[in-house]
Amino acid sequence: MLDLIIGGGDVVTPQGVVRGDVAVAGETIAAIAAPGALSAESTARVIDATGHIVMPGGIDPHVHLHHVWIKPDGTPLVTAGPEQVGRAALFGGTTTFIDFAYWRDGASARQAIEARDKDFVGKSPCDWAYHLMLHSEPPPEFSGQLAEAIEAGYPTLKIFTTNILPSRSGRMIDFGDIWEAFQVLAKAGGLGVIHAEDNDIVMHMYAKLIREGRVGFEHLAEVHNQLSEDLSFRRILRLAESVPGTALYMMHVSAGTGVAAIAEARGKGLPVYGETLHQYLNYSASDYKRPNGQIYHTYPSLKSQDDQQALWAGTASDTIHCIATDELCCTLKDKTVGNRIDDTTGGNSGVEPRLGVMYTEMVARRAYSLSRYVDLVSTNAAKIMGLYPRKGALAPGSDADIAILDPARRGKVRAADLHETDYTPWEGHDIFAWPVVTILRGKVMVESGRYFGSASDGRYLKRKISQKTLRGAAL
Ligand SMILES: [Zn+2]
């Protein structure tokens, strides 16, 4: 007995795109078969996907939900939580996201996870996971706890090499502690997820620009610059090389120097993977000069059009593997409340339009294959983050997380049509395909503009990084 057949679509499978039917039983995919080969008679429901693209649900490996950001007046901005952002993600075809659990203030890794669960359990309509986010001055016992956390299904560790802003402390981890962490990751099978910027260069540039009176946020690319990415990527990759078995995922690569450093490390056979953000691929520092130019910004910063071209080349040459959002969902008022290089709100709004926007930019405008597009918005994140083939694949036994895209859809992205917040950095962007049905583990969550999800539908995903990923052979 099947619960659902999605019939006649162009199905993006691990083996390529096939015209066929996807059968769902319970929460998983039962079969993928030739059109009409499955018996619809004993099936509870059939969705006709003729002329549509049937793909694994999107995976966003980098979001910040219910996250506290301090506004310029010192008051906290708490960003939208998993219920609001998850609903928007589902409208946009994304079914899984990975956030962060803040491991600080002397708490244990276990306490950090339990504290974060309070923000998510019963509140997320999407499936989710956390990267453990290490903060400065980790106690000596952190390495034992890290090994236990990896073993318990929390195998990714976020590390900052910078405090990002002069007013902030507590993020940056010194290289001695990173060295210790890498030894644990390598031994226990964890993955480092890295925000790498050269703190000396960044803080020097803050001081210099403030001294020169050039404090407007349109100068952010001078502060968080290409040299900083070059030096910091190479330093951390060199450290990883010195601890054999260390696997790294470089978050939000923004510059050509970062792409080159990853390519060089991969050329040596190191297990290093790259992520960029949809805004870094499509906007550059000149967009800061547009009205409300802060809406295009997230840290590190937008860079030049040459950097943008290098990032695109990275997506085509297996140097950049994932396109994330760095989601930080807030109102336009809060996103634009800071307007200086040292107080502009980071993060971005984009989980909902990510799949549609990237389809336009990759498939419609750059002739990427459907398979490569799906790799970059879903499958590769699953493979790298230890979720594959449960997530990121339309294959028998995989979770029935499915997005059905209508490639005949035309129009423009409008914040008013989205379910995220009151602005979108993608306002006016051309649409060449859009998700019309989203299914999470067999449950239809969105169909024809109607929402059927609930905040209790999502589940935490315990993960284990695959040996292939750890060896650098996964991608
Ligand atoms: Zn982030």
Task: Give yes or no for a contact between 62 and 328, defined as CB atoms under 8 angstroms apart.
Answer: no
Q: How far is the CA of 71 from the centre of ligand 1 (A)?
A: 17
Q: How far is the CA of 193 from the centre of ligand 1 (A)?
A: 11
Q: At residue 392, what is the residue type?
A: G
Q: How far is the CA of 406 from the centre of ligand 1 (A)?
A: 30
> For the segment 396-433, what is each residue's pLDDT rounded down to a tens digit?
999 999 999 999 999 999 999 999 999 999 999 999 99
* DSSP calls for 177-200: HHHHHHHHHHHHT-EEEEE---HH
CB atoms within 10 A of CB 99: 24
Q: How far is the CA of 385 from the centre of ligand 1 (A)?
A: 16
What is the torsional sign of CA 424, 427, 432, 437?
Answer: positive
CB atoms within 10 A of CB 211: 9
> For the segment 261-306, what is each residue's pLDDT rounded down to a tens digit?
999 999 999 999 999 999 999 999 999 999 999 999 999 999 999 9
Q: How far is the CA of 61 from the centre of ligand 1 (A)?
A: 10
Q: How far is the CA of 100 from the centre of ligand 1 (A)?
A: 9
| E-only strand ranges, 52-190 | 53-56, 58-60, 68-70, 76-78, 94-103, 127-134, 156-160
Structure confidence at residue 391 (pLDDT): 98
Q: At residue 461, what is the residue type?
A: L
Structure confidence at residue 112 (pLDDT): 97
The half-sphere exposure of 58 on its side-chain side, counting CA atoms within 13 A, is: 33
Q: How far is the CA of 253 from the centre of ligand 1 (A)?
A: 11
> Closest Cα to residue 363, out of 309, 449, 417, 434?
434
Q: At residue 333, what is the residue type?
A: K
* DSSP calls for 15-56: TEEEEEEEEEETTEEEEEESTT-S-STTEEEEEE-TT-EEEE
Q: How far is the CA of 9 from the centre of ligand 1 (A)?
A: 35
Mean pLDDT of the chain: 97
Going by C-beta distance under 8 Å and a sequence separation of 6 or more, which residues neighbour residue 211? none
Structure confidence at residue 93 (pLDDT): 98
> Closest Cα to residue 102, out of 70, 128, 134, 124?
134
> Closest Cα to residue 337, out of 382, 400, 294, 278?
294
Q: How far is the CA of 19 from the centre of ligand 1 (A)?
A: 37
